[in-house]
Amino acid sequence: MPRYALFLTAIVTLLGIQSASADVKLDVVATFSILGDFVKNVGGDRVFVNTLVGPNGNTHVYTPSPSDAKKLADANVIVVNGLGLEGWLDRLIKASGTKAPIIVATDGIKPRESAAKASDDEGHGRTDPHAWQAVANAKTYVENIRNGLVAADPEGRATYEENARKYLVRLDQLDRDVRSTISAIPSDKRLIVTNHRAFGYFEQEYGIKFASPQGVSAEAEPSAKGMASIITSIRQSNAPAVFLENITDPRLVEQVATETGVKIGGTLYSDALTDEKGEAPTYIDLVRHNLRQLSSALSN
């Protein structure tokens, strides 16, 4: 039960009025947007969700603000990814003085070791934290969140269990759709070049290979030498499509396409949802969007 609910219930009982505790929501803080979406789906009307790293944010290199410490201090429950994604969190939790229970959403998931060097410019470390990219893992996230919410708010058990059950059915369908879409792509075409190192779990689960040429993530606008090495890597990879998100200058993307003869794919979302108006406002939208991009880039 939320801590304010006890107090409110006591007052309301004294006044002889029906319990008002149903109106007091469990205050849940999630570290980033994808976790926030899972919590909303499981918590429904019983929870108020605060997300620290918002839409399109980079959780690896986030700099918390004093208002984040306040959010943690006020929280009834905190939901984190773990696996080294939120390197800034321990200090923030200490500074906030929060006593809220912490749900580690990746509990029970076997972590992948990243092929990347110890720590790259985007803050990616050696353990790959992007476990949500495999839908089977997302189901574990949801189960951990459900169990944590039930523990924090036992009165809501039936609601949390029913919400989670319905959402898990949708994730099962999503998982089947990813598998059937990818199985329709010829196996020699299941290769993507991207600057992201965020799709290791997707690759492991679904069998699309993501190659990351060296130098792509190092600079937003690579030097001539950097471009030459990117182009060589792409040619050698024989990838039918390339997704180069950090290259913002469209002329560079065109240059890559012209010199390699490789198609330019659209945007793949990895670490954050978009806002409501964007292409990936929920986790399920994110996976379906990425699937459409991969499928249209690789199928013809």
State the nearest-atom distance from the C-beta of 63 to Zn ion, in Å: 16
State the nearest-atom distance from the C-beta of 186 to Zn ion, in Å: 29
Radius of gyration of the chain (CA): 22
Draw the binding track, 146-185, toward Zn ion (x: CB under 5 A; -: no contact).
----------------------------------------
Mapped onto helix, strand or coil, the DSSP state of residue 258 is: helix
Q: Nearer to Zn ion by C-beta: 122 or 279?
A: 122
Which residues inside 102-131 make contact with Zn ion, applying CB under 5 A? none
Tell me which of 53, 80, 171, 198 binds Zn ion, using CB under 5 A. Answer: 198
Q: Nearer to Zn ion by C-beta: 68 or 86?
A: 86
What is the distance between the alpha carbons of residues 186 and 79, in angstroms, rounded to a whole number?
39
Q: Nearer to Zn ion by C-beta: 47 or 198?
A: 198
Q: Nearer to Zn ion by C-beta: 58 or 299?
A: 58
Tokens of 186: 């010829």
Q: Nearer to Zn ion by C-beta: 77 or 198?
A: 198
State the nearest-atom distance from the C-beta of 242 to Zn ion, in Å: 19
Q: How many amino acids of this chain bind Zn ion (CB under 5 A)? A: 2
State the nearest-atom distance from the C-beta of 109 to Zn ion, in Å: 16
Amino acid occupying residue 72: L
Which residues inside 247-286 make contact with Zn ion, applying CB under 5 A? 271
Q: Tell me the DSSP string of 80-114.
A: E--TTS-TTHHHHHHHHT----EEETTTTPPPEEP
State the nearest-atom distance from the C-beta of 197 to Zn ion, in Å: 7
Q: Tell me the DSSP string of 170-182.
A: HHHHHHHHHHHHH
Are residues 141 and 105 in contact, defined by beta-carbon separation less than 8 angstroms?
yes
What is the distance between the alpha carbons of residues 145 and 141, in angstroms, rounded to a whole number?
6
State the nearest-atom distance from the C-beta of 101 to Zn ion, in Å: 26
CA distances from 263 to 13, 64, 239, 300 (A): 67, 38, 9, 10
| Closest residue by Cα to residue 293 from 276, 277, 280, 274 | 280
Q: Nearer to Zn ion by C-beta: 198 or 291?
A: 198
Q: Nearer to Zn ion by C-beta: 72 or 198?
A: 198
φ and ψ at 32, to 5 degrees? -145, 170
State the nearest-atom distance from the C-beta of 59 to Zn ion, in Å: 7
Residues that bind Zn ion (CB under 5 A): 198, 271
